[in-house]
Amino acid sequence: MEKTIIKNKSNQNWEDFFKLDLDRKMDFYEKDGKIYDCLFAQQLSKELLESLFDIADKLRKTTKTKEGADFIASLLSHKKAMLYFAQPSTRTFLSFLNACHILGMKTSEIRDSSTSSEVKGESHDDTVRTFSSYVDLIIMRHPAPGSAERTAWLLNNTNRPIPVLNAGSGKDQHPTQALLDIYTLHRQFKGHIDGKRIVMVGDLKRGRTVRSLSYLMKNYKNISIDFVSPKEFKMEQDILDFLKAHNIPYTETEDFASVMPKADAIYMTRIQDEHDASGESKKVDYSPFYFKEEHLKMIKSSCILLHPLPRRFEIDAKVDNDERAVYWRQERNGMWIRAALIAYIFGIENKIK
Amino acid sequence: MEKTIIKNKSNQNWEDFFKLDLDRKMDFYEKDGKIYDCLFAQQLSKELLESLFDIADKLRKTTKTKEGADFIASLLSHKKAMLYFAQPSTRTFLSFLNACHILGMKTSEIRDSSTSSEVKGESHDDTVRTFSSYVDLIIMRHPAPGSAERTAWLLNNTNRPIPVLNAGSGKDQHPTQALLDIYTLHRQFKGHIDGKRIVMVGDLKRGRTVRSLSYLMKNYKNISIDFVSPKEFKMEQDILDFLKAHNIPYTETEDFASVMPKADAIYMTRIQDEHDASGESKKVDYSPFYFKEEHLKMIKSSCILLHPLPRRFEIDAKVDNDERAVYWRQERNGMWIRAALIAYIFGIENKIK
Amino acid sequence: MEKTIIKNKSNQNWEDFFKLDLDRKMDFYEKDGKIYDCLFAQQLSKELLESLFDIADKLRKTTKTKEGADFIASLLSHKKAMLYFAQPSTRTFLSFLNACHILGMKTSEIRDSSTSSEVKGESHDDTVRTFSSYVDLIIMRHPAPGSAERTAWLLNNTNRPIPVLNAGSGKDQHPTQALLDIYTLHRQFKGHIDGKRIVMVGDLKRGRTVRSLSYLMKNYKNISIDFVSPKEFKMEQDILDFLKAHNIPYTETEDFASVMPKADAIYMTRIQDEHDASGESKKVDYSPFYFKEEHLKMIKSSCILLHPLPRRFEIDAKVDNDERAVYWRQERNGMWIRAALIAYIFGIENKIK
């Protein structure tokens, strides 16, 4: 991957480029017909998803033996990754870190911007360019919307670009979360997502996971979606319009119980009060959107229960032991699918049997 | 170790289980006749101690060559450890981290709970379960008493348990500190701890190291102990009762000088003022419980001087260069015996020659 | 390197030793005719510089292939490094960390003294001695002047010394920054530093990089230097005296434009306001000491532009794309020359082809 220059360097300034529709700038983040920077859920085509599912399945199978694990850990032993997490995160951080370790990558971490040179007045651009000087991959999480894309854009305009993976930028994009969600549906449904009825519950307005997952549904046939939320936190119109445009039927309701029996998968989310402008979360009774132990008898025996975690009270801990509760597996799927994504980005997927 | 379910899952709730006597719940933390989670000093039987001493000795010998070190580092190269240190610690953290590195494990760290998902309102249970999703071993230090046991109990009740090592939970348990203390006695006495007179000095009331060490003395013959402390910080009655029950003679005194000449080992401790309720440490003159340079001529030529570190003024830095001062070696022993423990837990001890 | 005792242990106390002239104590930090601890720019002889340049060049060449990178990463796979950064640093930290990773070293980090045992009242000496218990190399950055030397002095007086690398101690010394600066001149001038005219710009009074670089000029022939700074932040007299003593001609000016056309290299620095006693930086107009896009046409086509980074406004970001702007390469050179230094310290340089 060394010394290859992205073909179409942007001649525009960032502000103009950033405003472009995603499909007009997508190929700026690709190389040789593959994604180079993973920034948006919209980059996850059905074909790519199928490839990644296959790589992830092989990774977990091969690493079951010591011999296999050592082999996989030899594949990227010559590569170094930087995990730049300017925003608190346990799960995504550990998931990516251990994905890197599975592949044998050496890792550096910046998890607290107070220890960084930004305190000396360095620009964000210079900071990430510095990171890129020492490593072969940047995995970044940052509170500013568009920050991961900005980093990728910046580096692609230099003579030494390296891939950038978006581990959450602001509240807009978190593509590997979408990836692990869809991978979980894929695994639990044994490859047959087509025809399923998906119920999404909670703070749909501000939860990026449900937005991304809705978007990815376009890749499958005969999907239907039920959105269950307090009226204050309904799914945004842009997603509803998207579903209409792709002929994906959906309903909206505040009555969780009414859709429980029909669900093939229930995707629970927590209230996103970190995005409150002025305490609006506290004015909403969220309890009708909890999944409680007594609900287990209301759902199908084949229905699966997902949650991006962390949870608060949306799912009673007593539910955890039910075999339909797959959120802990979902979490672990995140590590494997991220390892698969990294393997894909570095073009070593064919070495994984 | 994958996919094995601990045989006797607890059917009790945590609160009831936690209150059980240690010997009633010990086998819940074992597997195949070996300890699986290392949580209490009481788990350290004489037989286990001898095994661990032997493994540690072999590890330090084998790793003296590059070839040997590379071999040892290949043994657990397929395993990942999580170091979860919710409480400040340098020594224990670095000791465990480098023990993992000696064995070739990949490591993840959470050292500051402010960067974790707990800020998003996640429960402690969910946090540690998340950690367990990505790794094969959790090493944890936490200010809450019983927190390591709680973690082990929780994970043993899931379908994907992993071993938990207690690196200090509250002021109650810190079993690997006990392990390194006894390993130091073993090494310095060339295997002959029997018959030794051990003097323990300082804040005996609140120091968990002297408590654990006293406890472990039951494994040896003809031990006698002298407790030297200000009257405000005397050894607690439960330990004195334990010694009586095991026929281990002890004395209690405030006169340090009187016991110095008789000691085979002097175990110094610092005042534990972090456990002060209302500044009681400041009311005590601790200086009679310092080991000063002039004391070197009062102790036997074979007497050894230990300290769990960190120290403040209990031992004059000028004492460091005396060959009887073994606390720096003691510290280093901690790394080796922890590596031995991890090797034992993963059942690779027979590969170490 | 194990178990070798530095021959000439100091019999003096630290305060007296510390005050000695550098050339009187230099051999205390050497072993077998090579530097053992890298603490001062003054240790960097021309012969050593040439060796390190050669090792660094080989490292970057060999690691271009996976096979080569894996070989290099096998050389110190049996060694462990400690990065002790008690002061915020991104660049130096990541540079050293990845240098260690290139060589296959296992690494431990202390980056925030609030997580360390110092909070329990441990002395700095005990803290660093503890670090030395677990690892084979200490790389340290600390705000206190002389702190790295103190650590090396302390450890060299024990029976288990390990090398210490100074990654910045106070405002006095940062030898590996000097090393990467001179390595950059070496590479950009294809080995011919002799005869070059170097312009140093900015806060020369308080910038340690320009001080070190000035010092190293004694190793080359027919160098001349132009110091460009506001009158408040002129180069200190001791450096001017040093240059006179070594017959290195220099000028001092506030007129940046006047020396631009003559420069073979321009070394820009930022204002060091973290060293302000009472806001003196704010009283100075620093803008005449900025390098702006329009200046590109005023400098030679062969002139190179350096900066130790981080920058604020001293160099317009638009200048970055000019091929004469080499500060990003300079940053990356830091990683390679540090890897070379570590390889040299551990005596493995002859294995690198």
Tell me: pLDDT of B5 over 60: no
Enumerate neighbours of B (3 or more CB pairs within 8 A).
Answer: A, C
The residue of chain B with its CA nearest to that of C75 is: B66
**Best of B70, B106, B140, B156 to mutate (most A CBs within 10 Å, chain A):** B106
Cα distance from N-terminal residue to C-terminal residue, chain A: 22
Structural tokens at position A138:
């940047």
CB of A35 closer than 8 Å to CB of A29: yes
CB of A102 closer than 8 Å to CB of A59: yes
Cα distance between residue C270 and residue B306, in whole Å: 50
Cα distance between residue C266 and residue C198, in whole Å: 6
Contacts of A325 in chain B (CB under 8 A): none
Structural tokens at position B224:
């006698």
The reply to whether residue C88 touches residue A117, judged by beta carbons under 8 angstroms, is yes
DSSP symbols for C310-322 = --SSSB-GGGGGS
What is the pLDDT, as a whole number, of residue A203?
95
C6 pLDDT band, cuts 50/70/90, is very low
What is the pLDDT, as a whole number, of residue C9?
55
A73 touches chain B (CB under 8 A): yes
Closest-CA residue to A183 (of A298, A95, A280):
A95
- Compute the nearest-CA separation of C88 from chain B (Å): 17
- pLDDT tens, position by position, B224-270: 999 999 999 999 999 999 999 999 999 999 999 999 999 999 999 99
The reply to whether residue C80 touches residue B101, judged by beta carbons under 8 angstroms, is yes
- pLDDT tens, position by position, B273-300: 877 888 888 888 999 999 999 999 999 9
The residue of chain C with its CA nearest to that of B330 is: C133
The reply to whether residue C117 touches residue B90, judged by beta carbons under 8 angstroms, is yes
CB of C136 closer than 8 Å to CB of C79: yes
CB of B72 closer than 8 Å to CB of B104: yes
State the catalytic residue, choosing from C150, C174, C187, C197.
Answer: C174
Residues of A belonging to the active site: 91-92, 120, 141, 174
Closest-CA residue to C135 (of C342, C349, C348, C351):
C342
- Give the one of B63, B95, B311 whose C-beta lies nearest to C126's C-beta: B311
CB of A201 closer than 8 Å to CB of A291: yes
A11 touches chain C (CB under 8 A): no
C4 touches chain B (CB under 8 A): no
A112 touches chain B (CB under 8 A): yes
E-strand spans in chain A?
A: 30-31, 34-35, 80-85, 106-110, 137-142, 164-169, 197-201, 224-228, 250-253, 265-268, 304-306
Percent of all residues in chain B with a pLDDT value above 90, rounded to a whole number = 82
**Best of B75, B91, B331 to mutate (most C CBs within 10 Å, chain C):** B91
Mean of the pLDDT values across residues B324-347?
98
Closest-CA residue to A284 (of A270, A294, A305):
A270
Which residues neighbour A30 within 8 Å (Cβ) at sequence distance 6 or greater?
A36
The residue of chain A with its CA nearest to that of C275 is: A120
What is the pLDDT, as a whole number, of residue B180?
97
- Compute the nearest-CA separation of A311 from chain B (Å): 6
Q: Which domains does chain B have, with CATH numbers?
A: 14-173+333-351 (3.40.50.1370), 175-322 (3.40.50.1370)
**Would you say the C-alpha torsion B349, B352, C5, C6 has a positive or negative sign?**
negative
C11 touches chain B (CB under 8 A): no
* C-alpha triplet A257, A262, A267: angle, nearest 5°: 75
* C-alpha triplet C317, C323, C324: angle, nearest 5°: 85
Tell me: pLDDT of C165 over 50: yes
The reply to whether residue C108 touches residue B95, judged by beta carbons under 8 angstroms, is no
Tell me: pLDDT of B197 over 60: yes
- Give the one of C91, C98, C312 whose C-beta lies nearest to A121's C-beta: C312
Mean of the pLDDT values across residues C202-220?
93
The reply to whether residue B311 touches residue C77, judged by beta carbons under 8 angstroms, is no
Structural tokens at position C3:
């178990």
**Is B141 a catalytic site residue?**
yes
Instruction: Please tell me whether residue A346 adopts helix, strand or coil conformation.
Output: coil
How many CA atoms within 13 Å lie on the side-chain side of A45? Answer: 9
Other residues' Cβ atoms within 10 Å of the Cβ of residue A196 = 20
In total, chain C counts a number of residues equal to 353
- Give the one of C106, C116, C121 whose C-beta lies nearest to B90's C-beta: C116
- Compute the nearest-CA separation of A80 from chain C (Å): 8
DSSP type of residue A85: E
The reply to whether residue B78 touches residue A64, judged by beta carbons under 8 angstroms, is no
A–B: how many Cβ contacts below 8 A? 82
- pLDDT tens, position by position, B146-162: 999 999 999 999 999 99
CB of A346 closer than 8 Å to CB of A81: no
- Compute the nearest-CA separation of A64 from chain B (Å): 8
State the catalytic residue, choosing from B25, B58, B79, B174.
Answer: B174
Mean of the pLDDT values across residues C230-245?
96
The reply to whether residue C115 touches residue B90, judged by beta carbons under 8 angstroms, is yes
- Compute the nearest-CA separation of A112 from chain B (Å): 8
Cα distance between residue C108 and residue B89, in whole Å: 13
Tell me: pLDDT of B2 over 70: no
* Buried/exposed code over A21-45 (b: 16+ C-beta within 10 A; e: otherwise): eeeebeebbebeeebbbbbbbbbbe
**Is B187 a catalytic site residue?**
no
The reply to whether residue B120 touches residue A95, judged by beta carbons under 8 angstroms, is no
Which residues neighbour C307 within 8 Å (Cβ) at sequence distance 6 or greater?
C267, C268, C269, C270, C314, C315, C327, C330
C272 touches chain A (CB under 8 A): no
E-strand spans in chain C?
A: 30-31, 34-35, 80-85, 106-110, 137-142, 164-169, 197-201, 224-228, 250-253, 265-268, 304-306
Cα distance between residue B148 and residue B166, in whole Å: 5
- pLDDT tens, position by position, C272-318: 887 788 888 888 899 999 999 999 999 999 999 999 999 999 999 99
Residue with tokens 């002097």: B266
What is the pLDDT, as a whole number, of residue A120?
65
Cα distance between residue A40 and residue A26, in whole Å: 9
What is the pLDDT, as a whole number, of residue B6?
41
Cα distance between residue C155 and residue C129, in whole Å: 7
DSSP type of residue C9: -
Query: Which run of H or of E encompasses C129?
Result: helix C124-134
Q: Determine how β-strand A265-268 pairs with β-strand C106-110.
A: unpaired
Contacts of A89 in chain B (CB under 8 A): 115, 117
B108 touches chain A (CB under 8 A): yes
State the helix-helix crossing angle for B91-102 and B66-75, rounded to 10 degrees: 100
Cα distance between residue C100 and residue C121, in whole Å: 31
Which residues neighbour B293 within 8 Å (Cβ) at sequence distance 6 or greater?
B316, B318, B319
B–C: how many Cβ contacts below 8 A? 83
Parts of chain A with a pLDDT under 50: 1-8, 115
Write the burial class of residue A194 (CB in 10 Å: 0-12 exposed, 13-18 middle, 19+ buried).
exposed
Query: Which run of H or of E encompasses A155?
Result: helix A147-156
State the catalytic residue, choosing from C3, C64, C120, C353.
Answer: C120
Other residues' Cβ atoms within 10 Å of the Cβ of residue A158 = 16
Average pLDDT, chain B: 92
Contacts of B116 in chain A (CB under 8 A): 88, 90
Cα distance between residue B346 and residue B32, in whole Å: 12
E-strand spans in A32-163?
A: 34-35, 80-85, 106-110, 137-142
DSSP type of residue A315: B
The residue of chain C with its CA nearest to that of A129 is: C328
The reply to whether residue A64 touches residue B114, judged by beta carbons under 8 angstroms, is no
Q: What is the pTM of this model?
A: 0.95
